Structure 1
């Protein structure tokens, strides 16, 4: 049997698919320390909870249990996207919660 080619998708379909895959990769594995603008790295509690796929209540609980790193300036709480990604990559508990 030779290679079978299917011509059911257009060039635009392929471009959309590649773009979607690259966007998903950029959310996880392709983000490195040099590619994140420090201001883009900061997440609020709501953004961090959404990023991890958990509720804000769970995030606050994890924060109190020191499961997730965070920063506090006055009363404002911030999370680092880079640090949350590193945590999720290392910690099965966090990865399971995210998906």
Structure 2
């Protein structure tokens, strides 16, 4: 196994970063959430309200992998249909005090 070292100028690195950023901007964001109809897409606040839990609890569940979510850039979305299914299958989550 060998290691290769590359040296780039600050200008080269800035140009590469700009290219990457531009490509990310051009990506079709709708592709990421195309499986979720607009009327089924919920924000974290809406999802927490639907489940009758706090946003903090929802975020905790998201981190633990207990609820499915979608992320587009910095925005987090939930599918209402998927959350209802999770709630029906995991009633024990809601009975904890």
Across the aligned residues of Structure 1 and Structure 2, the Cα RMSD in angstroms comes to 1.6
3-state DSSP of counterpart to 2:68:
coil
Which has the higher Rg, Structure 1 or Structure 2? 2
Q: Quote the residue 1:49 is aligned against.
A: 48
3-state DSSP of counterpart to 1:72:
strand
Q: Quote the residue 2:71 is aligned against.
A: 72
Which digits, 9 at most, give the CA deviation of each residue in 1:5-43, with x for residues without a partner?
xxxxxxxxxxxxxxxxxxxxxxxxxxxxxxxx8111000
- How do 1:18-29 residues align onto structure 2 when only pairs under 5 Å count? none
Distance 2:90 2:48 in 1: 16
State the Cα distance separating 1:89 from its structure 2 match: 0.9
TM-score under structure 2 length normalisation: 0.59
Q: Quote the residue 2:32 is aligned against.
A: none
3-state DSSP of counterpart to 1:77:
strand
Runs of 4+ in 1 over 4 A off after TM superposition: none
Distance 1:91 1:77 in 2: 22
TM-score under structure 1 length normalisation: 0.57
- Give the aligned length: 61
State the Cα distance separating 1:92 from its structure 2 match: 1.8
Q: Quote the residue 2:13 is aligned against.
A: none
State the Cα distance separating 1:95 from its structure 2 match: 4.2
Q: Quote the residue 1:61 is aligned against.
A: 60
